[in-house]
Structure 1
Amino acid sequence: MKLKFTKMHGAGNDFVVIDAISQHIDFTPEQWKALADRRFGVGADQMLVVEKPQSDNVDFRYRIYNADGGEVEQCGNGARAFVRFVTDKGLTGKRAIRVETMAGVIEPRLEADGRITVDMGAPILDAEKVPFNAAGLEAKPEGGDSLWPLDVNDKTTWISVVSMGNPHAVQVVEHVDTAPVNVDGPAIEHHPRFPRRVNAGFMEIIDRHAIRLRVFERGAGETLACGTGACAAVVAGIRRGLLDSPVKVATRGGELSIAWAGTGSPVMLTGPAVTVFEGEMEI
């Protein structure tokens, strides 16, 4: 079959976006993995699939596949690309839409300046629900957060655990440029205390309204930006008493803006979404 697709990115986090409303899509994990391959496929961190909604009170269904071929719950940068795609393709005339994901309904909105804001919902802060197995561990309080000791490559790393519909382990580092992202990241992703694996965030505090961030993403490796990772890092920083909302998050691919009013409130993610090219390939 011939697959029509759109290549997009959000702050350098790149995607293959597929309209599954006008064409039938039923791929195996191996086919998704081949599509994401940067030498033999199109190349992407994630593949985003636009589908008809399964509920009456939403506009679309949004499915996400990582570069390893596995389906995942949520992708903040992808949600912005999703809005740009359905708007540019004339699939909706709304500036704000409701989209169902594996993690629940999100509500992205196209702003007047062209950026896109996504209501990512309230973070899950209960370690067991992230999920994180804390059996036998003693947490260390910092501000309003609980830091958990994690044995990583023969050392103890203190992390905040947060779910934004997908699990995150966030640590504070002195310099993000020299942080061992590609050494400790895989060890954290596959740590046995995270039964569904985890995204590993490395956060450098610049001031109370600015951070630098690198994320080793579950199933994708380090990406140039991670929207849910930015949300999780800001939530962790605010809970630890290190940050105040709103926070500018500098990633290697661009800048994101995160606002969070505190426990029980939704996290608001704002950033760019760009179309790179349209294509068609034989699957």
Structure 2
Amino acid sequence: MKFTKMQAYCNDYVYVITFDQEVKNPAAAARFVSDRHKGVGSDGMILICPSAIADFRMRVFNPDGSEAEMCGNALRSTGKLVYVKGLTSKTDFTVETLGGIKKIHLTVENGDVVNITANIGRPIFDADRIPVTVTNENNALIGYDYTILDRIFNITALSLGNPHCAVLCDDIYSIDITKYGHALECSPIFPNKANIHFYDVTNRENIRMIAWERNCGETLACATGCCTCVTAANLAGLCDSHVSVHQKGGIIVIDYDKASGDLVMTGKSEIVFDGEIDDRLLTGGNL
């Protein structure tokens, strides 16, 4: 299996282009490549496939082999990779995901992709579509004080194709993210679990965020998590529509278009290396 390792703000994935190869058991392959001791080491595996309804199709697999609906950093990285590998010469194109069709724009200078912008559409607040079982207004969960373990957190739930929860804090680095991230991820109010994002507000143009991703754990960056927190902060009147989100892995810019309701993320992605894995290893075999 031929692959490319990429990272966007230290959120790293193994990308596999399936136009000329087949991954017969993607769940097993994802578990192998994600292992940081026995495999390549990553936050998951991304398959880039043909699509009947968009320019490309992206499938996202977590380290445990489960398939996720969407990933913002993976979406932007996919956009860069298909251009770099010559699968498209367009700088504006679409990518099909389980969370819907997303729009990509590439900023190219002297043949190099220097920035990637992804329009991931409007956040969904309807509790039935997230899903979340608790609501506090108009069948939505916005700015709700929720008790988990020994803490009360102010939370906002939404979907960006997959379930997210923004958690407002005074100081994100005082939070035990493993303790509270896991507890919120697996809370019974989220029937399908949720991605959990703790954020605090520096000023109206800057916020900080740490991410606990569903079926993955803590990651150093999560672009859809950044979008979630900017949305929640906007609803609370705490920030503007153009915001820099500071993560452990770096800073990404989020624009919340109030007129259209769309969320747009802009940031970089880097190719780390290309490689090839003997297919026997992908299903637990030995060489």
> Which TM class, normalised by the smaller chain length?
over 0.9
- Counterpart in 2 of 1:151? 147
Match of 2:164 among 141, 162, 168: 168
- Give per-residue Cα distances to partners, 1:147-171, cap 9 Å, x unaligned: 2233311333220111111111111
Q: C-alpha separation between the residues in 1 aligned to 2:160 and 2:259?
A: 13
Q: C-alpha separation between the residues in 2 aligned to 1:193 and 1:122?
A: 22
Q: C-alpha separation between the residues in 2 aligned to 1:129 and 1:27?
A: 29
Match of 1:34 among 32, 45, 57: 32
- 1:195 is the counterpart of 2:179: no
Whether contact under 8 Å (1:123, 1:264) holds in the other structure is: no
For the aligned residues, what is the CA RMSD? 1.8
SS in 1 for 2:173: helix
SS in 1 for 2:143: strand
- Counterpart in 2 of 1:214? 210
Matched letter for residue 18 of structure 1: V
Q: C-alpha separation between the residues in 2 aligned to 1:272 and 1:22?
A: 27
Q: CA deviation at 1:263?
A: 7.3
Whether contact under 8 Å (2:11, 2:249) holds in the other structure is: yes
Matched letter for residue 13 of structure 2: F
- Counterpart in 1 of 2:257? 261
Whether contact under 8 Å (1:145, 1:240) holds in the other structure is: no
- Counterpart in 2 of 1:6? 4
- Counterpart in 1 of 2:42? 44
Structure 1 runs (4+) deviating above 4 angstroms are none
- Counterpart in 1 of 2:267? 271
- Give per-residue Cα distances to partners, 1:62-88, cap 9 Å, x unaligned: 110011110010100001110111011
SS in 2 for 1:157: strand
Q: Check 1:145–1:207 CA distance in 2 against 1; reply closer, same or farther (3 A cut).
A: farther
- Counterpart in 2 of 1:183? 179
Q: CA deviation at 1:183?
A: 1.0
- 1:132 is the counterpart of 2:129: no
Q: Which has the higher contact order (CA 8 A, sep 6+)?
A: 1
- Counterpart in 1 of 2:122? 122
Which runs of structure 2 are paired with 1:59-74 in the superposition (5 Å)?
59-74=55-70
Which runs of structure 2 are paired with 1:236-255 in the superposition (5 Å)?
236-255=232-251
Whether contact under 8 Å (2:241, 2:258) holds in the other structure is: no
Q: Check 1:189–1:21 CA distance in 2 against 1; reply closer, same or farther (3 A cut).
A: same
Q: C-alpha separation between the residues in 2 aligned to 1:11 and 1:146?
A: 28
Matched letter for residue 121 of structure 1: G
Q: TM-score, normalised by structure 2?
A: 0.91
Identity of aligned residues (%): 34
Q: Check 1:40–1:150 CA distance in 2 against 1; reply closer, same or farther (3 A cut).
A: same
Q: C-alpha separation between the residues in 2 aligned to 1:145 and 1:171?
A: 12
Q: CA deviation at 1:43?
A: 1.0
Whether contact under 8 Å (1:176, 1:204) holds in the other structure is: yes
Unaligned runs of 5+ in 1: none
Q: CA deviation at 1:182?
A: 1.3
Q: CA deviation at 1:36?
A: 0.7
Matched letter for residue 152 of structure 1: I
Q: C-alpha separation between the residues in 2 aligned to 1:177 and 1:28?
A: 35
Matched letter for residue 22 of structure 2: H
Q: C-alpha separation between the residues in 2 aligned to 1:208 and 1:179?
A: 22
- Give per-residue Cα distances to partners, 1:86-115, cap 9 Å, x unaligned: 011000000011111101100111014611
Whether contact under 8 Å (2:33, 2:44) holds in the other structure is: no
Q: CA deviation at 1:35?
A: 1.6
SS in 2 for 1:120: strand
Q: C-alpha separation between the residues in 2 aligned to 1:180 and 1:162?
A: 23
Q: CA deviation at 1:31?
A: 3.1
